Chains A and B, each alone.
Chain A
Amino acid sequence: MNKTDTTSQTPETKTSKENHNESIWQALLVPVLAVVTGLFLGGIVILASGENPINAYGALFTGSFGKPANFIEGISVLFSTGDTAALIKAIYPFTESLVIATPYIFAGLSVALGFRCGLFNIGAEGQFFIGALVSAFVGYSLKGLPMIIHLPIAILAGAAGGALWGMVPGYLKARFGAHEVVNTIMMNWIAFRLSDWLLSGPMKASGFRPVTPNVLASAELPRFFPEPLRFNLGFFIALLVAYFIYWFLFKTTLGFEIRAVGANPDAAKYAGMNIIRNFVLVMALAGALAGLAGSSQVLGVDHWVGQGFSAGYGFDAIAIALLGKSHPAGVVMAALLFGFLRGGATNMQSMAGIPIDIISIIQGLVIVFIAAPGIIRWLYRIRTIKTEETVLTRGWGS
C-alpha cells in the first residue's frame, strides 16, 4: 500500500520509552493523589474529634518510621562505643512496619493475580489460615531436620495448603460455572471453623489456650536483629516472589494467557487458549500466594498459630490489589503503605490518643478513591486519558 505520506502522521513522535514513562506516571497519579486525599480527609476527621491532626500524624510517622533523632543518636553511639543497642531500638518501628507489610505483599499478590485473570479471590483470608496451619504443623511436628531442609519444606507446605484451598473454587468454576466469589467465601468459613477445631484439639499445644505448639527453631525464618526486632527473611522472600509474579505475568506465555483471559475471554478462546485451565491454575497460584502470607507470618513472626491469627490480612489484600492496580510493583508499594499505616497506628493511639480506627477510616477513604477514580479526577481536574484500564472482574454473572 502507499506509504509515501504516512510521515506526516507522526509530526511529534515520541520514543516508546518516553511514552512508557508517561504512562507509568499516569498510572501512579491517581493512587498517589488518593492517598494524599485520604490522609487529608482523615486529618479533618481527627480535627472534628477534637484532636490535633499534626500531632496525630507526627505520632503516626514516628510510629511507622521511628524518630530521626533517635536514629542519628543510635549511629553516633555505635561509632563512639560500638554498642548497637540504641540503633536497634531506633530502627524498631521501621522494621516492624516492614514485618506487617510482609503478609500484605503476599496476600495482595494473591488477589492481584486473580484480578488479572478476571477472577475475584475473596478467599485470601481462608487460604492464609490454611497456609499458616499447615506451615505450623510441619514446623513443629517434623523433628530432627536441619534448617536448610526443614524451613523450605515448611514454607512450601504452607503454599501447597493455600493452593489446594484456592484450587477448589477454581475447579468448581471451571467444571460447573459456580461463581468464585461465592465459593471462596464458603471456603473461608470452612477454613475458619476447621482451624477452630484443629486448635482446640488435634493441633493444640499442652496448656489451656487454643494455640499450636511453637514451631521448631529449624523451621523459623531467620531474623536479622536481636529481640525484640522481628524483622526476618520473609520480607525479602516476599519481594522476590513479587518479582517472580511480575516476570510470570508479563514475560511468560502462561502469564500472557492469564492476562488475555482476564482482558477478553472471547478473544482468548479465539486464540486457542484454554480458559478453564487458566481459571484453575490462577486460583491455585493465588491460593499458594495467600498461603505464603500465612506461612511467613507463622514462621517469621509469631511461631505459633492461635485463634483470630490473621487479623484480616486476606481482606485488606483486596484493597491492596486495587490500590496497586493489580501490578506486582504496585502491590508492593500499596502493601508497604498499609504496613506503615498499621505500624504507626498503635503509636498514634498511645502518644496522641487517636483511636486506631482512624487508620481504618483513612484506608477506607483511599479504597473508595481508587475504586471510583472519577472522584479524584474531578477533585484535581485531571482529564481522563484512556490508558489501560485493568479489568478487575467481569461482574457477578459471568
Chain B
Amino acid sequence: MTNVLELRGITKRFPGVLANDKIDITLREGKILALLGENGAGKTTLMNILYGLYKPDEGSIAVHGKEVEIHGPNDAIAQGIGMVHQHFMLVPVMTVTENVMLGIEPTKNGIFLDKEKVAGRIREISDQYGLDVDPNAYIKDLPVGIQQRVEIIKVLYRQADILILDEPTAVLTPQEVEGLFMIIDTLIKSGKSIIFITHKLKEVLAVADDITVLRLGRVVGSINPKEATTEKLAVMMVGRDVNLVVDKKPAKPTEPVLVVENLYVRDERQNQTVQGVSFEVRKGEVLGVAGVQGNGQTELVYALTGLLPLEDGTIRLLGEPIHRTTPRNILERGVAHIPEDRQRHGLILTFPIHDNMMLCTYYKNPFARGISLQEKTIFSNAEELVGQYDVRTPNIYVNAGTLSGGNQQKVIVAREFSRPIQLLIASQPTRGLDVGSIEYIHQQIIKKRDEGTGVLVVSSELDEILALSDRIAVMYKGQIMGIVDAQTATKEQLGLLMAGIHPSETAQA
C-alpha cells in the first residue's frame, strides 16, 4: 500500500489568523480520507494550498512519494490533483461542455473550438462513472446535484487521480447524496483517491477509510472509522460533549402569526412552482417544511419574504395582509429570514463583518441618526454578536468573504436573531455548520419558539426537521402533501410523503 499524497508541516497565516498550523495529513492510494473539523478549522484553506490557490508559509507536499512544488492550479492538475470547491465555480449561462473546456480550450486547425470532441469525452466520462450529465445542457437549468457532477467531470476531464471534495454533500438532497456515494464508489474502484470534507458525521462513518480531525488549524488526531462513533467524532471536533439531539419541551402554541391561503408563485423562469399552498404558523411553535429540494420550498419562502411576487392567494401576518407589500415592510413587521443561499442573499461578501451585522437595520436607531451612520454602535454591535455567536474571525473589520463557510452562516443567524421578531423563517439554517454550531443554532431556534415567536423551518435534512419541528408540512411538486404531528411522525411516513405518495394510498395498494 502506497501513499499518493503526503502533506508535511503545512502552515498558513492570514492577517490575524493562523489558519493552518504544522498540519500533516496522508492519503492512501485508492482510499477515502475524511477531513473533519469545526467551522474555520482550516480545512478549505489546507485544500486550497494543495490545489495551489494559496502558497503555504511552511511545509511540503509529496505526490506519489516525490516532493513537488505547487504554484497554481495548473501545477496541481499536472500532478493529477483536482478539486470540487465548497462554492461551485461554474458559469451559469454556459453549457456543460463550455464549462468543462474553460481554461483548456482544445481547437480544430488551431483556431476553431472543438466542442464536439469535448462533448464526446464528457459522454464517455459520464457513462464510465454513472454521472448521467447532458453535455449540451445549460448550467443554470441544472439542479445543484447535477451541477456538482459537472464539477466532478471537470476534474476527471483533466485526468485527476486525486480528488478533493470540499463539503460536497452540504447542498445535496438525501437522494443526491446516495447518488454521489455511488459515484465515489466507482471512482475508488477505478483507482482514484479522494479527500472528502464534510460536517455530517454519519456520512463520514459510512464512506471513509481514514479520518483526520482538525481543530483551530491543527491536527487533533486520526481515527479508524471502525472504532469511531458520531459522539466520539463530535468530541474530537469541538473538544467537548455535543448534544446531538435538541432537548425541548412540548410547544405551547397560541394564536396564529402567519396564515397562508391558497398561494401560487412563479419562479424567476416563470414556472409555477408553488401551487395552492395553505398553512398557518402559530406563536410558540415550529412548523417544519420538509421535502426534496426543488419542490417549491425556495419560492414559497421568497414569496413570504417579498422577494418574489405572488400569482394568487393571500399571506397574512398577525392578521394583516402582507402579500402586496415590500420586503422592507415585511422586515419591519418583525419577520426574520435566514436565506437558503447565504452568498446570494444573506451577505455582502465584499463588505466588512460589521456592516453585514446590520444589513437589514442600517437605517434605524441606533445604527443611524437621520442619514448619518453611527459607526461606534455599528462596531460595538458587531463585537457583541461575534462574541455571542462565536464567529471565528480575527476582527470585525475583515470582509465577510474571508470567513469560512460556516462562520458566514453564523453572521447571518446572529444578525437575524438580534432584532425583535414575530416570525422567523429559516431556510436550511445549519447548512455547512459543524456539530457544535448546529447544536447552538438549534437551541437558539427553540429559545425563540419558547419566547413566543412563530418559526418556519425549511430544510432538506430530515433529521433537522424532526429535531426542531412541532408540526411538519411535506412539500411535493409545489403542493403540501400533508401536515403531520412531529411527535408521531416517522421517517418512513415522511419519506413517502416526500415522494408524493399518501401513506393511505400505499395501504390500499
Using a CB–CB cutoff of 8 Å, the interface residues on chain A facing chain B are 1-3, 5-6, 8-14, 16, 19-20, 22, 251-254, 256-257, 259-260, 263-264, 266-274, 383, 386, 388-389, 391
Contacts and interface: CB of A to CB of B under 8 A. Distances in A.
B339 A270 contact: yes
A20 B339 CA distance: 31
22 contacts: A1-B389, A2-B239, A3-B387, A8-B18, A8-B216, A9-B40, A9-B216, A11-B18, A20-B397, A251-B372, A251-B373, A256-B355, A260-B351, A263-B350, A264-B347, A270-B307, A270-B339, A271-B362, A272-B329, A272-B332, A386-B401, A389-B350
Interface stretch (B9-17, B204-212, B289-297, B480-488): B9-17
B15 A19 contact: yes
A8 B13 CA distance: 12
Given A13-B16, A20-B397, A272 B326 contact: yes
A149 B389 CA distance: 57
Nearest to B345: A270
Given A3-B390, A11-B18, A12-B18, A270 B328 contact: no
Contact of B371 (A3, A12, A253): A253
A308 to B, nearest CB: 40
Contacts of A12: 13, 16, 18
Contacts of B368: 253
Nearest to A270: B345
Interface of B: 13, 15-18, 40, 55, 216-217, 238-240, 305, 307, 326-332, 337, 339, 344-351, 355, 359-360, 362-363, 368, 371-373, 375, 387, 389-390, 392, 394-399, 401-402, 436-437, 440
Contact of A6 (B330, B348, B392): B392
Contacts of A9: 17-18, 40, 216-217, 392, 394
B236 to A, nearest CB: 14
A19 B216 contact: no
The residue in B238, B355, B394 that gathers the most chain A C-beta atoms within 10 A of its C-beta is B394
Contacts of B359: 260, 267, 270-271
Contacts of B13: 12
A269 B327 contact: yes
A10 B392 CA distance: 10
Contacts of B350: 263-264, 388-389, 391
Nearest to A11: B18
B21 to A, nearest CB: 8
Kindly name the residue among A3, A10, A22, A383 whose own CB sees the greatest number of chain B CB atoms within 10 A.
Answer: A10
Nearest to B331: A272
Contacts of B398: 19
A132 to B, nearest CB: 30
A383 B54 CA distance: 9
B464 to A, nearest CB: 18
B373 A273 contact: no
B327 A270 contact: yes
A273 B307 CA distance: 11
A12 B344 CA distance: 32
Contacts of B332: 272
A266 B344 contact: yes
Nearest to A397: B93
A19 to B, nearest CB: 6
Contact of A267 (B331, B348, B389): B348
A2 B436 contact: yes
For B348, B372, B395, B397, the residue with the greatest tally of chain A CB atoms inside 10 Å of its CB is B348
Contacts of A259: 351
B324 to A, nearest CB: 15
Given A251-B372, A272-B326, 13 more contacts: A1-B440, A2-B390, A8-B18, A8-B216, A9-B216, A9-B217, A252-B373, A253-B371, A260-B351, A268-B348, A271-B327, A273-B328, A388-B399
A358 to B, nearest CB: 36
